[in-house]
């Protein structure tokens, strides 16, 4: 979620815990904002076939299962998978004095990239890559977040690129910190004007931070697009191309709903008159609208339609209220075929084409991955 000016993140995960019933509390949030319930858009028949197991539907997809415990006994939390088996994540030191940012190889060996004292409430997140360059935000609970980089192709230590990040908005989207044309990009809230967003960037080699004010409240979508309304109850209403200044008004239909968009697709969560809900996807102009899931389902990740091909949903089961886990399903947009990845997924995350989730017992947690780029 948003990183405040104090440096304290609202959420320290790149994904979400399932099932998060707050999504289904959309009606209350919108009612509080003064929006009245009206009849929803004409109903579409949802796809009815049972989900197909991933091993059957995608036998050649690259997958992996890794334990959440490193050989030194510490608990490993993946933050980004470079492929189905190699990842970047965090783990405390065995003595508990440090939080380490590490690179985990397929054989479970680790390379320490950075470490921060545990006593300072450290945070590592918003990890971005371009080739061999890895970038991230870090904080110790005071001041603004700092941006660091390292070249994974050599053994030189990590370097701080800048501490001049402003009131940075570093949420759980893979786009909140991006690398383009040799520069790191992020957005910050303007400290003096609530209706202005600062679009910031700095060279990967360091130096002065470029600050570009943009009227409106924006977050990064896929480069070079900005999207508004990410934190509003009703969701996004507009996209803006930072290079061409092209603007796209997002199509709205009658009904109680929230919309989250990329330049290509929007996810629409709508409440029905009987108190149920459904998930649709559509293009920002409203065309190509399709029903993805009905009552009992919710988005499993914040990013919309990964690889412009899939939507990822969590379907509540009979034990979800007790376990807080859910059935994890990937829906192929073109065919609306449902692919089951897990019947008991807990934390679910996505970035860079790789989806990963946890499950297991309290004493033996595993991480599972699928590289959607190999489907």
Rounded Cα distance between 36 and 32, Å, is 9
* Helices within 267-323 (DSSP H only): 320-323
Rounded Cα distance between 57 and 368, Å, is 17
> For position 48, what pLDDT does the model report?
56
- Length of the chain as a residue count: 375
Nearby residues of 244 by Cβ (< 8 Å), 6 or more positions away: 224
* Cα–Cα nearest to 65, from 359, 328, 284: 359
User: What end-to-end distance do the CA atoms of the chain give, in Å?
Assistant: 30
Tokens 């470079």 map to which residue?
82
Question: If residue 282 lies in a helix (H) or strand (E), which one and from where to where?
Answer: strand 277-282
95 C-beta neighbours (distance < 10 Å), count: 8
User: What is the CATH T-level fold of the domain 16-374, as seen in this structure?
Assistant: Methylamine Dehydrogenase; Chain H (2.130.10)
Rounded Cα distance between 277 and 368, Å, is 29
Rounded Cα distance between 43 and 49, Å, is 18
3-state SS string for 95-108:
CCCEEEEEEECCCC
DSSP letter, residue 50:
P
> For position 261, what pLDDT does the model report?
96
* Helices within the chain (DSSP H only): 26-32, 54-57, 320-323
What pLDDT digit, counting tens, does each position of 116-168 carry? 999 999 999 999 999 999 999 999 977 789 999 999 998 899 999 999 999 99
Nearby residues of 305 by Cβ (< 8 Å), 6 or more positions away: 262, 264, 265, 267, 281, 311, 333
What pLDDT digit, counting tens, does each position of 221-256 carry? 999 999 998 878 889 999 999 999 999 999 988 888
Can you say how many angstroms the Cα of residue 291 is from the centroid of all Cα atoms in its chain?
Answer: 22
DSSP letter, residue 28:
H
CA distances from 354 to 21, 78, 284, 314, 332 (A): 25, 12, 25, 17, 15
Tokens 């330049």 map to which residue?
263
> For position 31, what pLDDT does the model report?
34
Rounded Cα distance between 189 and 170, Å, is 11
> For position 38, what pLDDT does the model report?
31
> For position 41, what pLDDT does the model report?
43
Rounded to two decimals, what is the model's pTM? Answer: 0.84
> For position 25, what pLDDT does the model report?
39
Q: What is the four-CA torsion angle of 8, 25, 302, 288, rounded to 10 degrees?
A: -150
Regions of the chain where pLDDT drops below 70? 1-48, 362-363
> For position 243, what pLDDT does the model report?
95
Tokens 């990013």 map to which residue?
303
Ordered DSSP codes for 138-193: EE-SSSS-EEEEEETTS-PPPEEEES---EE---SSTTSSEEETTEEEEEEE-SS-
Tell me the pairing of strands 63-67 and 196-203: unpaired
> For position 342, what pLDDT does the model report?
96
């Amino acid at each position: 979620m948003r990183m405040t000016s104090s440096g304290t993140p609202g959420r320290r995960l790149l994904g979400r815990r399932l099932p998060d019933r707050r999504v289904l509390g959309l009606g209350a949030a919108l009612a509080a904002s003064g929006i009245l319930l009206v009849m929803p858009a004409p109903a579409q028949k949802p796809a009815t076939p049972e989900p197909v197991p991933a091993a059957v539907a995608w036998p050649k997809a690259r997958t992996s299962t890794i334990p959440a415990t490193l050989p030194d006994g510490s608990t490993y939390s993946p933050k980004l998978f470079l492929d189905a088996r190699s990842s970047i994540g965090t783990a405390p030191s065995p003595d508990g004095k440090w939080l380490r940012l590490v690179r985990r190889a397929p054989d479970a060996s680790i390379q320490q990239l950075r470490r921060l004292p545990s006593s300072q409430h450290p945070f590592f997140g918003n990890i971005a890559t371009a080739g061999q360059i890895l970038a991230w935000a870090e904080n110790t609970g005071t001041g603004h977040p700092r941006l660091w980089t390292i070249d994974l192709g050599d053994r030189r230590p990590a370097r701080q690129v800048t501490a001049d990040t402003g009131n940075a908005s570093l949420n759980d989207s893979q786009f909140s910190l991006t690398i383009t044309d040799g520069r790191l990009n992020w957005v910050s809230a303007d400290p003096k004007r609530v209706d202005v967003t600062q679009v910031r960037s700095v060279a990967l080699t360091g130096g002065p931070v470029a600050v570009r004010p943009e009227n409106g409240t924006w977050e990064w979508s896929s480069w070079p697009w900005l999207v508004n309304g990410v934190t509003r109850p009703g969701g996004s209403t507009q996209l803006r191309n930072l290079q061409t200044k092209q603007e796209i008004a997002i199509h709205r239909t009658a009904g109680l709903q929230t919309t989250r968009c990329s330049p290509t697709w929007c996810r629409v969560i709508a409440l029905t008159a009987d108190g149920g809900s459904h998930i649709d996807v559509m293009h920002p102009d409203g065309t190509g609208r399709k029903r993805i899931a009905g009552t009992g389902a919710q988005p499993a990740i914040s990013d919309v339609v990964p690889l412009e091909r899939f939507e990822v949903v969590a379907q509540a089961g009979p034990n979800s209220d007790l376990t807080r886990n859910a059935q994890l399903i990937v829906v192929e947009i073109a065919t609306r075929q449902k692919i089951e990845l897990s019947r008991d997924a807990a934390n679910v995350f996505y970035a860079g084409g790789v989806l990963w989730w946890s499950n297991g017992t309290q004493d033996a947690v595993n991480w599972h991955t699928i590289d959607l780029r190999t489907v």
